[in-house]
Amino acid sequence: MHRIQQLLIVSHVPHFAHAGGIFAYGPYAREIDIWAELFPRVVIAAPFRDEAPPPDALRFAQPNISIAPQLQTGGMSVASKFLQIIALPIHAWRLAKSMRHADAIHVRCPGNLGLLGCVISPLFRRPRIAKYAGQWNTWEHEPLTYRLQKWLLRSNWWGAPVLVYGRWVNQPPHVVPFFPSVMDDRQMQRASLAQPRMRNGALGVLFVGRLSQAKNVDVILRAVAVLVREQKHLEVTIVGDGPERASLETIATTEGIRPCVTFAGAVPQERVFDFYEQAHVVVLASETEGWPKALSEGMAFAAVCIGSNRGLVPQMLADDRGLLVEPGSVPELASALRHVYNDPVAASRMAQAAAEWSRRFTLGEFSRELRRVLEDRMRMILAQKPPTLVTRNA
């Protein structure tokens, strides 16, 4: 048995020092708080900025979390790739320094620091565990670095538990299916009060996420435009921000649907729930997905969910819990929206089945499953206090 005093988490997620606290992307921060309940001290090796966090960030609730600052490098340009290569020895030295003082190591992938963590951490012979928080099965145009991280994590070199989203055939025994959650018990109780919504006037279509090219929000807008030209009444809300926002606003205008599209921007998590409560349909047509929180939250709030036929989404929406489309297909997405619009009774049944399935996945259940993996598979002696799911504001 291993009694762990200090857990090191290797993460590429940017962290922010602000107003006397540490902030990070909301769902990630909630999960790390669960890890921090199980160990006396948690150190996160990650990029760290002394500035105000973005609106979708949350403050860590657990007081035993500290940061070992790492360089933040990345990007798709030739210059950024060159900079990553130049900075590699510095990354390796900083990570190794942090690993030397840790009793156990948790590496989060995919990401540049995660890749380096997969290579370095086995050298220290500490108890270790990885989480691959992305699409575990391979897809077309998948980055080579992602494939390399998966190969390393499946290999004997890593040789330790790897938490992945969903169940996949022909995986080594140390690859552990794991279903996370992004909602605590209070939030799930709020979701349970939502009812499958019949169409009444406009069909409310909701997207929640980063406005990046891979999310295919343009496909959503073009599919909605098809139905609007058929004289169907739809209202679209886009929650989130990112580099594609200006382009998406232009598309909404050129497609003639700008009056029925609202760009809400990035908002705090509790405000996102307001949008779920009002939506009829949640759409996520991404090129790739691990555990898509927008779909899991939409399902919990009894919205009809339409997701891309990628990653874990087919498992989530199986058994008539939602509709699948190819990510870039405007005709398929338009057909799925038309089906929901024309048959609200069937859509209501689908939404109810999705809600019943998704409401099992609370942060409390995540904490219990994580404890089981660490105790049973890694023989760790963990803190025995029950989970404390703290309500936090952004």
Residue 297 domain boundaries: 185-358
Query: 266 and 197 in one domain?
Result: yes
Domain count, the chain: 2
Query: 199 and 225 in one domain?
Result: yes
Whether 386 maps to a domain, the answer reads no
Query: 347 and 237 in one domain?
Result: yes
Whether 390 maps to a domain, the answer reads no
Query: 374 and 353 in one domain?
Result: no
Query: 209 and 76 in one domain?
Result: no
CB burial string 196-229: b at 16+ within 10 A, e below: bbebeeebbbbbbbbbeeebbbbbbbbbbbbbbe
Whether 389 maps to a domain, the answer reads no
Q: Please tell me the pTM assigned to this model.
A: 0.83
User: What mean pLDDT value characterizes the chain?
Assistant: 90
Rounded percentage of the chain residues whose pLDDT exceeds 70: 93
Is residue 182 scored above 80 in pLDDT?
A: no
Whether 328 maps to a domain, the answer reads yes
Whether 266 maps to a domain, the answer reads yes
At 30-88, the pLDDT tens digits run 999 999 999 999 999 999 999 999 988 999 999 999 999 998 765 555 555 566 677 78
At 274-298, the pLDDT tens digits run 999 999 999 999 988 888 889 999 9
Whether 68 maps to a domain, the answer reads yes
Query: 145 and 11 in one domain?
Result: yes
Query: Residue 94's domain is classified under what CATH number?
Result: 3.40.50.2000
Query: 190 and 108 in one domain?
Result: no
Whether 394 maps to a domain, the answer reads no
Is residue 172 scored above 60 in pLDDT?
A: yes
Is residue 354 scored above 50 in pLDDT?
A: yes
Whether 284 maps to a domain, the answer reads yes
Residue-level pLDDT at 390: 45
Query: 208 and 325 in one domain?
Result: yes
Is residue 239 scored above 50 in pLDDT?
A: yes
Query: 67 and 205 in one domain?
Result: no
Query: 368 and 304 in one domain?
Result: no
For 121, 183, 377, the CA distances from 107, given in Å and listed in that order, are: 8, 23, 16
Query: 69 and 43 in one domain?
Result: yes
Query: 147 and 131 in one domain?
Result: yes
Residue-level pLDDT at 389: 44
The full 3-state SS of the chain, as one line of letters, equals CEECCEEEEECCCCEEEECCEEEEEHHHHHHHHHHHCCCCEEEEEEEEECCCCCCCEEECCCCCEEEEEECCCCCCCHHHHHHHHHHHHHHHHHHHHHHHCCCEEEEEECCHHHHHHHHHHHHHCCCEEEEECCCCCCCCCCCHHHHHHHHHHHCCCCCCCEEEECCCCCCCCCEEEECCCCCCHHHHHHHHCCCCCCCECEEEEEEECCCCHHHCHHHHHHHHHHHHHCCCCEEEEEECCCCCHHHHHHHHHHCCCHHHEEEEECCCHHHHHHHHHHCCEEEECCCCCCCCHHHHHHHHCCCEEEEECCCCHHHHCCCCCCEEECCCCHHHHHHHHHHHHHCHHHHHHHHHHHHHHHCCCCHHHHHHHHHHHHHHHCCEECCCCCCCCCCCCC
